[in-house]
Homo-oligomer: A and B are copies of this chain.
């Protein structure tokens, strides 16, 4: 028998759950179909357990500053690694439970556990059930990229899907891929005393296209663990069950490898070819990011599966837009937020607004940088490594973007993103309060240096706005 609903949602992650909330609010009948574990990527294997591990690593790493602060005994601190993993798992379980309690727990038959496949544009097959839906939201999520050849190494080569399940940590580990998660976990593990080697085919880390910030980040983080950049990694079996990992001329023997080469949209079960929608060269449905509608169809898409910005608040917005439109069969347009992408290494790496690679060829764009060294509060905190670089339009002074490698970069990134989304100029932004002594003054310093590079100059001292009656 075929079950008929107004909306079918494929995937109970952040995007799917947010879409469901809109569909419920609109009073539509729906099913939520989820393959694999319930609980979001964020809570299960992403943002949350990684932050828990990072926090412990940061607290342990801080022992190195205690002597400067005349706190005695820091050299005798030690770490209980199985205990750390248990702590991370305990917190992870709390966050997963919170997600489930707020969503799929006690949902009844509106929740179907199983992988959905398209039979035709309006028909899905799940387990042995057939669902006919007027509209469909695809929010199937993503899965770690993992080269097939490395499956032969079994559980010695892991992704974040397995990493947080470890009962303890290895003595040595190579991190292959220095994007967000690779850099976060690589640094955290190095700080916990693991012998970590970081490897990436690119010459830049964490998606940084700003050469100044990238160079500083590589230099500073490279002091904590070696970063081998510019060559692909290879893995071979070594002696005693160890693995030999090579890149370019270099190689190292390790107990484990963490593969963090990014995540790909999880299309494996969908049979998108039956959905009757346009697919791009990657096999992804082509959609409008302001409506989340796929082509001009009854199908909407949201979250990591769309191949764009795998960031929780963006997945939430996409789910909200897709859900709103799927509930109504509409294609209402919504403004997307200014890009804000944070890597929670220390100092934080933050990309805001338009990236440097998209701007550098434009002769009307100027950039200025502020090193963290002279920032008073950063010196007090013993966190005065790093640099902030900001970009603006030379003629108008309008802020366009920035890259930060700075303590508390996560907070500074919010401020910069908020300014950019509101179309503020450098002058407008400098008219807002910057408290003393805070790290926000580093952002203020970068903006002040940017003023000197603009073609326009204000009619009032920088930092003040004339009152016009």
| Interface residue ranges, A against B (CB under 8 Å) | 22, 42, 47-48, 51-52, 55-56, 59-60, 62, 65-66, 68-74, 76-81, 83-84, 86-87, 91, 94-95, 98, 290, 311-313, 316-317, 320-321, 324, 332-335, 337-338, 340, 342, 376-377, 379-382, 408, 410-415, 417-419, 421-422, 431-438, 440, 460-461, 463-467, 469
Expressed in whole angstroms, the minimum distance between the Cβ of A382 and any Cβ of chain B is: 8
CB atoms of A414 and B417 under 8 A apart: no
Copies of the protein in its oligomer: 2
Give the nearest-CB partner of A417 in chain B. Answer: B433
CB atoms of A435 and B340 under 8 A apart: yes
CB atoms of B47 and A437 under 8 A apart: yes
Residues of B within 8 A of A81 (CB): 70
**Known interface pairs A414-B438, A414-B440; 7 further A-B residue pairs with C-beta atoms within 8 A, sorted by A's residue number:** A42-B437, A51-B380, A51-B437, A70-B83, A95-B376, A312-B435, A418-B419
Residues of B within 8 A of A422 (CB): 422, 432
Give the docked Cα–Cα distance between A440 and B414 (Å).
Answer: 8
CB atoms of B69 and A77 under 8 A apart: no
| Contact among B73, B290, B432 with A78 in the assembled complex (CB-CB below 8 Å) | B73
Residues of B within 8 A of A52 (CB): 380
Residues of B within 8 A of A435 (CB): 311-313, 340, 342, 410, 413-414
With A66-B77, A76-B76, A320-B461 known as contacts, the answer to whether A71 contacts B51 (CB < 8 A) is no
| Contact among B62, B312, B433, B467 with A436 in the assembled complex (CB-CB below 8 Å) | B312
With A62-B62, A69-B87 known as contacts, the answer to whether A440 contacts B464 (CB < 8 A) is no
CB atoms of A73 and B72 under 8 A apart: no
Interface centre among A86, A94, A377 (most CB of B within 10 A): A377
With A421-B432, A437-B51 known as contacts, the answer to whether A467 contacts B333 (CB < 8 A) is yes
Give the docked Cα–Cα distance between A78 and B311 (Å).
Answer: 42
| Contact among B73, B316, B335, B419 with A467 in the assembled complex (CB-CB below 8 Å) | B335
Instruction: Give 20 A-B contacts (CB < 8 Å), ordered by A residue.
Output: A48-B376, A55-B380, A55-B382, A56-B71, A59-B69, A60-B71, A70-B84, A72-B78, A73-B73, A77-B77, A95-B376, A313-B433, A320-B463, A408-B408, A411-B411, A411-B440, A415-B418, A418-B419, A422-B422, A422-B432
CB atoms of A320 and B70 under 8 A apart: no
Give the docked Cα–Cα distance between A431 and B316 (Å).
Answer: 12
CB atoms of A321 and B464 under 8 A apart: yes
Residues of B within 8 A of A417 (CB): 432-433
Give the docked Cα–Cα distance between A389 and B22 (Å).
Answer: 27
Residues of B within 8 A of A321 (CB): 464
With A59-B66, A60-B69, A411-B411 known as contacts, the answer to whether A463 contacts B317 (CB < 8 A) is yes
Expressed in whole angstroms, the minimum distance between the Cβ of A96 and any Cβ of chain B is: 11
Interface centre among A69, A379, A465 (most CB of B within 10 A): A69
